[in-house]
Amino acid sequence: MKFGDTIQSADWKAEKHAPVIEAPETVAAGQVFHVTLSVGKEIPHPNTTEHHIRWIDLYFKPEGDKFIYQVGHFEFVAHGESAKGANQGPAFTQPFATCALQVQASGTLIAVSLCNIHGLWESSQPLALA
């Protein structure tokens, strides 16, 4: 078995676990742009002690390059846990992050998220240079 065989994908509009990538379709080389990542945009994902998104990673795969490059790792570490019991805590983080980056080539943005119950999920979006 390969690691990639464990990653699931689906249309985020119909699957609450698939990460959503919101970014421009075209950017200028070297221009800073923003990428917003989330899970549960159309169908809310539970954010409970028992069932939550732990993290989202963002990668960039330049066109024609063999390798992908990790752009960011965003952890969500408060899920309502408390000494009082599950879901009794004072804080619940939501799986939502925005980062700024710039690229020098066209390629693909790839997001991978981890649900503590349902495993790894991925989405991708092409990114072209203007």
Total-model pTM: 0.93
Q: Is 61 a catalytic residue?
A: no
Domain harbouring 86, CATH code: 2.60.40.730
Kind and range of the H or E run holding 37 = strand 33-39
Q: Which residue has the higher pLDDT, 20 or 10?
A: 20
- Residue 51 bears catalytic tag: yes
In the chain, the number of structural domains is 1
Euclidean distance between CA atoms 52 and 45, whole angstroms: 7
Cα–Cα distance for residue pair 77/56, rounded to 1 Å: 12
Q: Are 60 and 33 in contact (CB under 8 A)?
A: no
How do residues 63-111 score in pLDDT, each as one tens digit?
A: 999 999 999 999 999 999 999 999 999 999 999 999 999 999 999 999 9
**Across the chain, what does the average pLDDT equal?**
96
Q: Which of 41, 99, 118, 122 is catalytic?
A: 118
Range of the domain at 64: 3-129
For residues 8 and 17, is the Cβ–Cβ distance under 8 A? yes
Lowest mean pLDDT across 3-17, 53-67, 89-103, 108-122: 3-17
